Structure 1
Amino acid sequence: MTFFSVIVPLYNKAAYIENTLKSVLNQTFKDYEIIVINDESTDESKTKVLEFNDEKIQLYTQKNQGVSVARNLGIEKSQGKLIAFLDADDFWFPNHLQELADLYHNFPNSGMYCSRYKIKTTKHHFQFPYFNGIENSYRGIIDNYFFSNFPYRISWTSSLAIPKKTLEKIGAFTPGVTNGQDLELWTKIGINYPVAITNKITAIYHFDIPNSLAKNKIGLMKLMDFEQFEIAEQHDSNLKKNLDQYRIEYGLRYYIFGYTDKTNFYIKDIDLKKSYFKIWALFQIPPFCLRILFNFKNYIKKIGIDFSIYD
């Protein structure tokens, strides 16, 4: 049985996919297969993959249905014990799969294995994520996943691996969800299984900073169903706080473009003034002013300056 199945969803990433696949083929751990799911790309992405002519790479093309369906098809085609995901514009260091394999052997009952990563925000600037209550040197089972999953996310798609049997038991990605589909799955796993983390940085997340906010994209967002976690949240305040931060994030996006009903739906049960005063203050600012502020925030992030409204 293959140890890792590496699933790469691909849509119009011709400029990146060559380096991404090379980063897999350069792994020191060699027991893996690569499953590329071409989501009906309209650029040269498919051609770039075929140029490799490597027996480890399997290429499937599906009708354009989004990243969730693409990843699910990859899971269906996989033969590996562990499923590792890699977005088509991200990058692994050569030790990535070895670190995750070692973590699996040391903590075999975990539902998710997470490596450390860094975020490339500009050509010469990186962010180094840190997590509540977890030292940079710590390696092992996370004591409280939802408490520690802040201010950065522990589980980022291109830095983790999940046993296939876990996905078969709890399900994979929800088709049709366009924002937070990965958050939904990691939450399900965090509720039901221990989560393990390495102490090595083994991946680079290429953060795509938009030039400006886009109303059409905000209006077309389809989010996960937060209500599925209602009972679990009642028993875990850290889970609720974790999910509330995403409710606020989406509510703020909707507020900026005047989607009042959607804004109210996501923040209706959160006491912003008491628990998130700075964010409550943002909701007192006219939406057109917030659009200017958020575009400015994106601009300064491109030159290496970043801050969080949750700080």
Structure 2
Amino acid sequence: MPTVSVIIPTYNRLRELREALTALTKQFFQDFEVIILNNNGDGLESVIADFNGQLAITYVDLPENHHVRARNHGVSLAKGRYILLHDDDDLLLPSHIEEVVGDLEAGADLSYADAELFTYDWQQDHRVVRTTEPFAYPYDREGMKEDSTYIPSGSIYRKSLHEELGLFDEEVFNYWDWDWILRVGQDHLVLHPARATVLYAFNPSGNHESAKQDASRRVYFDRLVEKHELPTTEMKNFHIVQEERRSRLRETRRTFSGHLTESE
């Protein structure tokens, strides 16, 4: 059985997924499986075939585009004792899995690293990094009730947490990750080391306008607020959180070269 199960839901991001999988082939720690959940998107056979013999991949076509339900399906298939969450357009630096596995082996129940937010341009079939900046804030459970600074992509946790806490909450949909970090942090050890080993794709078009969420997202946000008795009523995206909190950025280890899928 693999030590780690990497769960990647995806929807029509073949080029980004290829980059993410390429980065996984460069991990120093290789005792993991990859579970790809295709959310009713275009077929991925051509992408997955390129990694035959390099990655142990389980590929599932799902009949709907529901990313939380897809992650829960991935959890049900996971063979590893640790689960690592992974968005299809993000990448992990080569030391990432080795280091977060070490965090759990040292006693943490969940570990998530800092991130390099990157903007990019497309050149033919690959992304070229335009700008980078760290997303690095200390973990504080009470502070997490005001704004979520938890980036789930690249985070790892003990699969046994689901036995106690249940699966990801589909009822809060877009806010499943905020809900998860609050639930885990209630009675379990969350570690947030100062290592920026997650490359988080930051949509160049994101701005204050993108925070004007539609009515359906407000419904999910209100459910989260009620569930956890949060003190906030303002919906924010990562762009706004980063803008408001830059003065509180912490020092973090930054080793990204600026070139996607290259070694640290």
- Structure-1 separation of matches of 2:109 and 2:159: 9
- Root-mean-square deviation (CA, aligned residues, Å) is 2.9
The letter for the 2-side match of 1:220 is S
The letter for the 1-side match of 2:49 is L
- Structure-1 separation of matches of 2:5 and 2:95: 16
The letter for the 1-side match of 2:110 is M
Instruction: Report what 1:121 is aligned to.
Output: 119
Distance change in 2, residues 1:52/1:176 (3 Å):
farther
Distance change in 2, residues 1:177/1:150 (3 Å):
closer
Aligned residues of 1:170 and 1:188 also touching (Cα < 8 A):
yes
- Structure-2 separation of matches of 1:201 and 1:89: 17
**Residue 249 (structure 1) aligned to one of 213, 235, 238:** 235
- CA drift at 1:115: 1.5
- CA drift at 1:152: 6.8
The letter for the 2-side match of 1:167 is H
Percent identity for Structure 1 against Structure 2: 19
Instruction: Report what 1:158 is aligned to.
Output: 153
Distance change in 2, residues 1:101/1:220 (3 Å):
same
Instruction: Report what 1:56 is aligned to.
Output: 56
Aligned residues of 1:38 and 1:46 also touching (Cα < 8 A):
no
- Structure-1 separation of matches of 2:191 and 2:119: 26
Aligned residues of 2:20 and 2:92 also touching (Cα < 8 A):
yes
Please report the TM-score for the alignment, with normalisation by the length of structure 2: 0.77
Number of residue pairs matched by the alignment: 232
The letter for the 1-side match of 2:16 is Y
Please, which runs of 5 or more residues in structure 2 have no aligned partner?
121-128, 248-264
- The aligned runs of 1:9-48 (5 Å cut-off) are 9-42=9-42, 45-48=44-47
Write 1 or 2 for the structure with the bigger share of helix. 1
Write 1 or 2 for the structure with the bigger share of strand. 2
Once superposed, which parts of structure 1, at least 4 consecutive aligned residues long, lie more than 6 Å away? 148-152, 214-217
Q: Is 1:147 aligned to residue 139 of structure 2? A: no
Q: Which of the pair has the greater relative contact order for Cα pairs under 8 Å at 6+ separation?
A: 2
> What's the CA shift string for 1:156-176, capped at 9, x where partnerless?
111210100012210222225
The letter for the 1-side match of 2:52 is N
Aligned residues of 1:27 and 1:94 also touching (Cα < 8 A):
yes
Please report the TM-score for the alignment, with normalisation by the length of structure 1: 0.66
- CA drift at 1:200: 2.0
The letter for the 1-side match of 2:20 is T
